[in-house]
Amino acid sequence: MQPRVFPQTIIARKRDGHVLTPDEIAAFVHGVVRDEWTDYQTAALLMAIFLRGMTAEETSCLTVTMMHSGVVADLAGVPGVKVDKHSTGGVGDKVSLVLAPLVAACGAPVPMMSGRGLGHSGGTLDKLESIPGFRVDLPFDVYAAQLGRIGVAMIGQTAELVPADRKLYALRDATATVESIPLICASIMSKKLAEGIDALVLDVKFGRGAFMKDTARARELAAAMVGIGRAMGKPTRALLTSMDQPLGCAVGNTVEVVESIEALKGRGPADLMEVTYALGVHMLLLARIASHPADARRRLETAVASGAALAKFRELVAAQGGDVGVIDDYSRFPQAPVVREVIAPATGYIVDVDPLGIAQPALLLGAGRINVAATVDHAVGITGLMKIGAPVRAGDRLCTVHARDDSDLPGILQQVSAAFKIGPARVAPPRLIDELVE
């Protein structure tokens, strides 16, 4: 029998910059799962890891231990190469809502386990739950059966899969430790490896609206996750993508689902579709559905143009108990009762849209969680965002704010307005796709 390792001992060792042993990491993970560690002890170690970091070996050990903190799914009975995508999070990033049914419509099984809002970034599960009746809490057997039947499932963590991450995820959000590369790696890769995938494509974002502010840090994170995937025998690729303005034209929950449906109908914003297609190409290549990038891109565009991707989304919504009627009638979504336009103060061109200047007001509206106990208001958000490079005249609408009530609204409108910068000359929008890490 191994001697007990006390939480305060492990916290102190990491606080002082030591490398944690596999036994200490196991004691931490199992202690969290069994509620033997209090929230304040767990938070203390998370902060120590944030400040002191982890070696590649520690990070890999933490990932594998978290993965095995619950059941590791076996999807061998589902034919085909099961391929998933994960984003490190950004402002207006609703790519998963478009990409999962799109890739499934092309013939690749997509088992997608997603998360809730983290920090200033929105969560795929929160967005899906704005569809009345949509269930993200499918038991594993139902999840596996659905994947075999329609080729796609979008769920949250089940009670069986990676229980350690459920508590750590919430505490990271509440303790300002989200940006830690080892913690991001362990959280993402433990869940992805536990969900039964054969291959993985990562969207690692950098810029003002991302958790990784510069490309060097994003590249470091991408390389770490690709290395873990490769070591576990799962082909993994990562794209570095820019988050220096919101992705698409909507930020919120319902409003982003509506924009995603529009994208599946062939009316998606150009930047959203560029990122979606870029990630989809690599998913189809890893799934061995397409033989080369041009073939993969053609298949994706055809699936949108033919209506096959939208039809797959209908199947997904119906399979998970959602109101399919929202796809054709957006009024069936939750609606915010207060709608206000933000007006351009001058004539010129949009030269900047600060993503955090949009995300933080959306958070104040209730589109995300300020703390662990907060509930999300699915109806509120911001729509019609003007993009960098667009011409604008004084008095034009820069965007529209959807709110629950008038409280704090003047200040929120002022913050949103300040996120836009107008200049005399047109500037090019930021390059979206930076590089591939494999």
Three-state SS for 263? helix
Catalytic residue among 84, 165, 244, 434: 165
Rounded-to-integer distance, Cα 241 and Cα 245, Å: 11
- Counting Cα atoms < 13 Å in the Cβ hemisphere of 85 gives 34
Indicate if 165 belongs to the active site. Answer: yes
Rounded-to-integer distance, Cα 319 and Cα 151, Å: 11
Rounded-to-integer distance, Cα 325 and Cα 124, Å: 20
Catalytic residue among 13, 14, 82, 86: 86
Q: Are the C-beta atoms of 36 and 26 separated by less than 8 Å?
A: no
Rounded-to-integer distance, Cα 249 and Cα 263, Å: 11
Catalytic residue among 191, 237, 299, 402: 191
Three-state SS for 246? coil
Helix (H) or strand (E) holding 381: strand 381-383
With CA atoms as reference, report the closest residue to 340 among 410, 295, 402. Answer: 402
Catalytic residue among 60, 187, 242, 260: 187
Rounded-to-integer distance, Cα 185 and Cα 190, Å: 8
Catalytic residue among 85, 94, 120, 172: 172
- Residue 118's beta-bridge partner residues? 121
Rounded-to-integer distance, Cα 332 and Cα 330, Å: 5
Indicate if 187 belongs to the active site. Answer: yes
Indicate if 396 belongs to the active site. Answer: no
- Tell me how far the alpha carbon of residue 387 is from its chain's centroid: 21
Three-state SS for 225? helix
Indicate if 191 belongs to the active site. Answer: yes
Two tokens at 70? 């619950």
Place of tokens 């996120």: 419
Q: Are the C-beta atoms of 245 and 352 separated by less than 8 Å?
A: yes
Compute how many other C-beta atoms are within 10 angstroms of the C-beta atom of residue 19.
12
**Number of residues written out for the chain:** 438
Tell me the catalytic residues. Answer: 86, 165, 172, 187, 191
